[in-house]
Structure 1
């Protein structure tokens, strides 16, 4: 008898499947599911469905008519079980929901082929990307850097006068650093130096 899918597992599996490349790479699907759950938790949601409803722009596959996403959302449990890609997506979702092994290595973000096709105008490229391992550069693109110096203003007293002085508090030259790459997806997290310098949140 085919196991019945609960709403959360189906939703997460469909999102992972929709965001992944058509290669149906197991590591890619498992990594995507883990990132989605990590983002759900970081943003303070109790469920994937609540996350999707409130953060519509995080994963566009839920609203842009993505065929792979709709395929799982509308498929019967029997048809999912017979399809290697869809069944792997379900296993990936189950793994992520129970806190299993994380193939993304702590990523909060990802990119597909558009990082190459739209390289010059890509948001991450414009803000600086680095590959922590050459094997992550699956699209053979150049790293990008953009030095940013962060200042803070301090007040000083000289005699009876109070003056302000701007001093450097830190600098960084890239925001995103790769954590893994599988199938057609590169996974990223924020550069720790960027987080320390700007006190940014890890997930946005």
Structure 2
């Protein structure tokens, strides 16, 4: 049985983020997946707590600053109120699962998107960068992948037939930036594609 009387400020904050970011389906697995991404990002960026992470980087989870009602509700709720609410109870369990290294329903993701990826498809930053579904089950909103092969070049000076010439050489190529890892509830989870990371030498978390 979950003891909500011992809810720490760190657990409450992470639970509220997962609750606010999740869809109204109120699935435990979706909230647990969101919480796992937050913890993974926190550790990858070198923070010791979710509080420190969100205080420094206010743009990773907008529910903290954009007036999200679900986030505010859990942050203000008493332990008794949380215990009486199945959805908020699940959010707390999801936070504890992530903080303790439990089951990762996001399957190693570093990013996520909700329904706005469909409603704002043409202008969505990830879509414009290039998305790829590794499994059709992840495509919760029936959108198209936006794969397009891009080639990166570098300019070098080489000796050609005894003459020094400036030529362009291929550095590498990729067909998408983001690839799906899971689709849970109303959330699609992503990580960077390996080809893009290799070519750009990007960090997997930003």
Establish whether TM, by shorter chain, passes 0.5. Answer: yes
Give the match for residue 140 of structure 1: 142
2-side partners of 1:28 and 1:139: how far apart? 15
Pairwise CA distance, 1:134: 0.6
Write out aligned runs for 1:4-153 (5 A): 4-153=6-155
TM-score (norm 1): 0.95
Gaps of 5+ in 1: none
> What SS does the aligned partner of 2:105 have?
coil
Pairwise CA distance, 1:121: 0.7
Equivalent pair of 1:127/1:146 in contact (CA under 8 Å): no
> What SS does the aligned partner of 2:148 have?
coil
**1:158-184 CA distances to partner (integer Å, 9 max, x unpaired)?**
698654432002111111111001111
Pairwise CA distance, 1:101: 1.4
Equivalent pair of 1:176/1:191 in contact (CA under 8 Å): yes
> What SS does the aligned partner of 2:5 have?
coil
> What SS does the aligned partner of 2:31 have?
helix
2-side partners of 1:155 and 1:98: how far apart? 53
Pairwise CA distance, 1:100: 1.3
Write out aligned runs for 1:192-203 (5 A): 192-203=194-205
> What SS does the aligned partner of 1:126 have?
helix
> What SS does the aligned partner of 2:6 have?
coil
Pairwise CA distance, 1:42: 1.1
**Which of 167, 172, 184 is matched with 2:174 structurally?**
172
Indicate whether 1:187 and 2:189 are aligned.
yes
> What SS does the aligned partner of 2:18 have?
helix
Equivalent pair of 2:11/2:95 in contact (CA under 8 Å): yes
Pairwise CA distance, 1:44: 1.0
Gaps of 5+ in 2: none
2-side partners of 1:164 and 1:198: how far apart? 22
Tell me the C-alpha RMSD between the 2 structures.
Answer: 1.6
- How many residues align? The count is 204
> What SS does the aligned partner of 1:140 have?
coil
1-side partners of 2:182 and 2:161: how far apart? 56
TM-score (norm 2): 0.94
